[in-house]
Chain A
Amino acid sequence: MSNGHLVKIEDARKNYGSLAALDGLSLTIEPGQFMVLLGPSGSGKSTLIRSLAGIEKFDAGSIFLDENQVNRGPVNVAPEKRNLAMVFQDYALWPHLSAFENIEYALQRRKLPKDISKQKVNAALNRVGLSSKGKNYPHELSGGEQQRVALARAIVADPALLLFDEPLSNLDADLRERLRIEISTLTREIGATALYITHDQSEAFALADRIGVINHGKLEQVDLPEVIYERPINRFVANFTGIAGTFTGQVKQVLKASCIVALGEDQLEVRHTVGLEVGQSVDVLIRPAATSFQNESENRIGAEITDIAYRGRGYEHAITTKYGTLTGVFDTRSHARGGTISVSIDPDRCIAFRSETK
């Protein structure tokens, strides 16, 4: 059974002057669930997580942790009484305390006997691979080690809710990947509900049980990662969760779950969104995973290789077609720059939306 809070946010609103940071946002996170909020800078995700922590207050709207409303009018349950912990973007390690003391601090609220407390801190240090660094002060630790201490501090008291405020954004790619795995496993081990905010879609898909895509203070879509990726509800969600490129064309024929889109001389079969009609102008958003250099499909167009990037398990190519550029086209072998090639498009992984260009 999960130890986590059931988190409910209802109709949250928050303005900074004339700017609406949160605009009627509602969200439910089940106990023990790892929810990732994905959105661009200024979309309201930081305001949401800080309000949930109790550091900021909504102008209107409610927060329930389990059955308890923690904000009502001017009365706000203090952060320390919400039984949560948070990992900050800048780590927020107290520079006058050692790594051990930083972690021990978060355990004080449990009022444990000294020896048990010490055991727990050592266990937390051990869990994040820093058992030999307990006496070090923050400035004596690397960035990755500092973030590990912050993670240990967050989990040591077994909180019911863990909040992550873009914790990996200051780290290099390799460290980010390793710490991502640690965050994922440790959070699930302690059974806490987790809310993680990021603008990095790969981080979101790797971590989440469920993803919420947020924009302009509103939730655009909340669902399983697979659904968000495969069935984005609108153009913003599709765009923000990763596309190889966009082509503009006209609907030639509407089928049951797909449609045929004419792109100049070529035509592509793509999955359609609701309400498309023949003759309508559409934007076709193509996922990187939809593209391939294999020739087994008839759904393909000609292209020129403009760039190659080696990715260890193979190569990612940037290609230019008559209708636009596609990036992240993967193949296990490289194709020379400037060469012409035919690229196959998987109809199920590209989506047609009504065109925004007139």
Chain B
Amino acid sequence: MQKVEPSRDSFSSRALLFVRTKISPMTLFWLVIISILVLPIILFLAVAFSPKLLDQGPEWFTFNSFKAAADPYFLQSIWHSFVMGVVSSLLATAIALGVAWIVLRTNSAARKVWSLAIFALLLAPSYLIALGWERIFERAGVLNIAGIDLPFIRDLLYGPVGIAMILTFKGIPFAYLVISNAMRGLGEEFEQAVRVHGGSRIAAFKMMSTLLLPALWSGIAIVFAESISDFGVASQLSSPGRYSVATFTLYRSVMSLPVSFPLCAAISIILLMLIILALFAQSRALRGRSFRVLSGRTRPITRKKLSKTGAFSANTAIYGLLFVTLGIPVFGAISASMIQGLGTVLANYQFNFDNYFRVIKSPLLRAPLLFSAEAALITATVAVILAAISSRLLVSTKNGLGKKFLDFFLLAAVGLPGIVFAIGYIFAYNLPLAQKYGFHLYGTVTLLVLAYIATALPSTTRSLVGNMNQFQESLSEACRVHGSNGIKTWLTVVLPLISRPLLAAWCLTYCGTLLELPVSQILFPPGHAPLAVGIDHALGNYDFGGGTAMEVFAIISALLVVAVAFGLYEKLAPIGWKQLGRARS
């Protein structure tokens, strides 16, 4: 008979505790989190209060930077950001809920198209979507060339309506991923229970929405944070004369000389406070509730067969959404990559593929794509591993200090605009102290990838929290009491059960990193220009055709990676993994 481990005397107990504290995987996890997330954020935010700490001014402690940030110009832009965040997060989450229901719970033909298109939408940076719309409606744009001028729509586009619209488009896939992953784990017995107890279809939908509340709130929180810290839309549609948002004014502050880093830090802290308020509202609304509905007893759902009218409405809704979110921007990008001289006085409007051949042949245009693909591969893999651990910690029933600490810093990282986050990295890793202890990371590919991981971690974690919330604790407890240690429990039960959401999170991170702009621009090492920097350089050199052709190549390559990843999953994953959350036709 196998016996239990022998008891340990007090000395060996202490020794064991010491060794565990030193080398446990969780200690390693915390070290990574502190290095890539906590230190850069703390050091940067500290500049707002103590400029002298990082040689940014004479005072050790001051609120002067906040006084500067209280200028009506800055305050108005912060208010605009808040309004845009609220509008886009509510709209995006509501639309995503409807789409998730059509895609996962009905036999609508459009669902298959959406499942493919979602990654294209995730992949497209906000500035590309905005550019696509601009290209269609701008003066001397595509519609102008076709003899159509719509100044009313153009005016709307370059103002709050346009900004909110693009931010909503950009937010929909984030909210959709969170909601759909949660909806997959939600068996249909809850809806059936409503119907057999006299509830209407609407009542059943309301019940489902209530059970999805943790995911809905996560969706709202993610989209709100993404919208507030977004720079891509701001860079295209925001302007001081019309409607300026905080990231735009922040960008102008960073780019104007002399740069006031304490002021940037102060504005960032105010943005952060807005996000904390949103999360506080989320927490108050849920009051600690989470609905653990994913278990061995959950039965697959049966798709609802739509009537002809229902199918027409559902398909129209999905295709219409895809048209405005993807169709117009894609048309804008492709037309720019194929029309020579669009928008210039020398335009001859010839259609050809010359720009694409140049990207393939020229190392200057090709190298950034390959470099970013490699960096995105590493970033996505590491970020998903860290996000899986982080999300598990965040949904843990133990309300420990570590959980609160992690929650705060993940939120802080979401709230910080990428450009200032990157500046925080420069501060942290270029400090004399870092150099003294041998951290010569500044100006290296390693630092760039670490910053990519850190910026990807918050949203990747948030996208997994909804699934982790549905994971019943007894499933991992059963592993432990039946002979598996913590690591084996993760490998054999936790990871398989969330394998599909993990894969989705990996693809999301890969696509996001591939076209990442602000961190790339600040931290790219000499000779290793990432894709966004390569595109920016091409556009800066008036090679619009080459730049947009690189964009199109990047999107196609990312879609291929996503298709291969899911194809391999369908081919190689065990049947048991694949059937989780799958609906019966």
Kindly report which residue of chain A lies nearest to residue B294, judged by CB atoms.
A95
Known contacts A92-B474, A96-B496, A139-B300; A54/B5 CB under 8 A: no
From B8-16, B64-72, B144-152, B351-359, the one touching the partner chain is B8-16
Q: Contacts A83-B1, A85-B482 known; list 7 others, CB within 8 Å.
A: A75-B8, A82-B4, A82-B5, A92-B295, A92-B475, A95-B576, A137-B576
Is A37 an interface position by the 8 A CB rule? no
Q: Show 14 A/B contacts (Cβ-Cβ < 8 Å), sorted by A.
A: A53-B481, A55-B477, A67-B7, A68-B4, A73-B13, A77-B4, A78-B480, A84-B481, A86-B482, A90-B295, A93-B478, A105-B492, A108-B483, A146-B296
Interface contact tally, CB-CB below 8 A: 146
Is A69 an interface position by the 8 A CB rule? yes
Contact of A137 with B579 in the complex, beta carbons under 8 Å:
yes
Is B255 an interface position by the 8 A CB rule? no
Measured between beta carbons, the chain A residues less than 8 angstroms from B288 are none
Measured between beta carbons, the chain A residues less than 8 angstroms from B576 are 95-98, 101, 137
Is B572 an interface position by the 8 A CB rule? no
Contact residues of A with B, CB < 8 Å? 3, 5, 50, 53-55, 65-70, 72-75, 77-86, 88-98, 101, 105-106, 108-110, 137-139, 143, 146, 153-154, 157-158, 160, 163
Measured between beta carbons, the chain A residues less than 8 angstroms from B480 are 53-55, 78-80
Measured between beta carbons, the chain A residues less than 8 angstroms from B80 are none
Contact of B299 with A139 in the complex, beta carbons under 8 Å:
yes
Kindly report which residue of chain A lies nearest to residue B299, judged by CB atoms.
A139
Contact of A138 with B297 in the complex, beta carbons under 8 Å:
yes
CA distance A84 to B3 in the complex (A): 10
Measured between beta carbons, the chain A residues less than 8 angstroms from B477 are 50, 53, 55, 79, 86, 88, 92
Contact of B483 with A3 in the complex, beta carbons under 8 Å:
no
Contact of A95 with B482 in the complex, beta carbons under 8 Å:
no
Contact of B295 with A80 in the complex, beta carbons under 8 Å:
no
Measured between beta carbons, the chain A residues less than 8 angstroms from B350 are none
Contact of B298 with A95 in the complex, beta carbons under 8 Å:
yes
Contact of A109 with B483 in the complex, beta carbons under 8 Å:
yes
CA distance A83 to B481 in the complex (A): 8
Kindly report which residue of chain B lies nearest to residue A94, judged by CB atoms.
B493
Measured between beta carbons, the chain A residues less than 8 angstroms from B3 are 66, 68, 83, 160
Is B2 an interface position by the 8 A CB rule? yes
CA distance A163 to B478 in the complex (A): 11
Central interface residue in B295, B478, B497, by most chain A CB within 10 Å = B478
Measured between beta carbons, the chain B residues less than 8 angstroms from A98 are 576
Residues 58 to 116 of chain B near chain A (Cβ within 8 Å) = none
CA distance A137 to B295 in the complex (A): 12
How far does the Cβ of B480 sit from chain A's closest Cβ, in whole Å? 4
Kindly report which residue of chain A lies nearest to residue B573, judged by CB atoms.
A96
Contact of A94 with B497 in the complex, beta carbons under 8 Å:
yes
Kindly report which residue of chain A lies nearest to residue B574, judged by CB atoms.
A96
CA distance A43 to B299 in the complex (A): 33
| Residue from the list A66, A69, A86, A96 in contact with B478, Cβ < 8 A | A86
CA distance A90 to B10 in the complex (A): 38
Is B472 an interface position by the 8 A CB rule? yes
Central interface residue in B6, B10, B17, B475, by most chain A CB within 10 Å = B475
Contact residues of B with A, CB < 8 Å? 1-8, 10, 13, 16-17, 294-300, 472, 474-475, 477-486, 492-493, 496-497, 574, 576-577, 579-580
Kindly report which residue of chain A lies nearest to residue B6, judged by CB atoms.
A68
Kindly report which residue of chain A lies nearest to residue B482, judged by CB atoms.
A106
CA distance A153 to B482 in the complex (A): 8
Contact of A75 with B482 in the complex, beta carbons under 8 Å:
no
Contact of B5 with A81 in the complex, beta carbons under 8 Å:
yes
CA distance A54 to B13 in the complex (A): 16
CA distance A84 to B5 in the complex (A): 12
How far does the Cβ of A79 sit from chain B's closest Cβ, in whole Å? 4
Known contacts A72-B10, A73-B13; A146/B485 CB under 8 A: no
How far does the Cβ of A48 sit from chain B's closest Cβ, in whole Å? 15
How far does the Cβ of B400 sit from chain A's closest Cβ, in whole Å? 14
Known contacts A53-B481, A75-B17; A83/B296 CB under 8 A: no
Contact of B8 with A72 in the complex, beta carbons under 8 Å:
yes
Kindly report which residue of chain B lies nearest to residue A86, judged by CB atoms.
B481
How far does the Cβ of A139 sit from chain B's closest Cβ, in whole Å? 5
Measured between beta carbons, the chain B residues less than 8 angstroms from A163 are 481
CA distance A143 to B493 in the complex (A): 21
CA distance A1 to B70 in the complex (A): 81
How far does the Cβ of B472 sit from chain A's closest Cβ, in whole Å? 7
Kindly report which residue of chain A lies nearest to residue B476, judged by CB atoms.
A92
CA distance A57 to B480 in the complex (A): 14
How far does the Cβ of B401 sit from chain A's closest Cβ, in whole Å? 16
Contact of B17 with A74 in the complex, beta carbons under 8 Å:
yes
How far does the Cβ of A72 sit from chain B's closest Cβ, in whole Å? 5
Known contacts A80-B480, A95-B576; A90/B4 CB under 8 A: no
Kindly report which residue of chain B lies nearest to residue A90, judged by CB atoms.
B474
Contact of A55 with B481 in the complex, beta carbons under 8 Å:
yes
Measured between beta carbons, the chain B residues less than 8 angstroms from A92 are 295-296, 472, 474-475, 477-478
Contact of A160 with B2 in the complex, beta carbons under 8 Å:
yes
How far does the Cβ of B150 sit from chain A's closest Cβ, in whole Å? 53
Contact of A96 with B481 in the complex, beta carbons under 8 Å:
no
Kindly report which residue of chain A lies nearest to residue B486, judged by CB atoms.
A78
Known contacts A90-B295, A96-B576, A139-B299; A80/B474 CB under 8 A: no
Contact of B7 with A68 in the complex, beta carbons under 8 Å:
yes
Contact of A90 with B297 in the complex, beta carbons under 8 Å:
yes
CA distance A55 to B397 in the complex (A): 13
Measured between beta carbons, the chain B residues less than 8 angstroms from A84 are 481
Measured between beta carbons, the chain A residues less than 8 angstroms from B485 are 78, 80
Measured between beta carbons, the chain A residues less than 8 angstroms from B483 are 80, 106, 108-109, 157
Central interface residue in B6, B10, B17, B296, by most chain A CB within 10 Å = B296
| Residue from the list A5, A68, A94 in contact with B296, Cβ < 8 A | A94
Contact of A95 with B481 in the complex, beta carbons under 8 Å:
no
Contact of A70 with B481 in the complex, beta carbons under 8 Å:
no
CA distance A69 to B12 in the complex (A): 13
Measured between beta carbons, the chain B residues less than 8 angstroms from A67 are 7
Measured between beta carbons, the chain B residues less than 8 angstroms from A160 are 1-4
Kindly report which residue of chain A lies nearest to residue B493, judged by CB atoms.
A94
Known contacts A70-B4, A105-B492; A54/B481 CB under 8 A: yes
Contact of A68 with B5 in the complex, beta carbons under 8 Å:
yes
Kindly report which residue of chain B lies nearest to residue A191, judged by CB atoms.
B1
Kindly report which residue of chain A lies nearest to residue B495, judged by CB atoms.
A96
Contact of B482 with A96 in the complex, beta carbons under 8 Å:
no
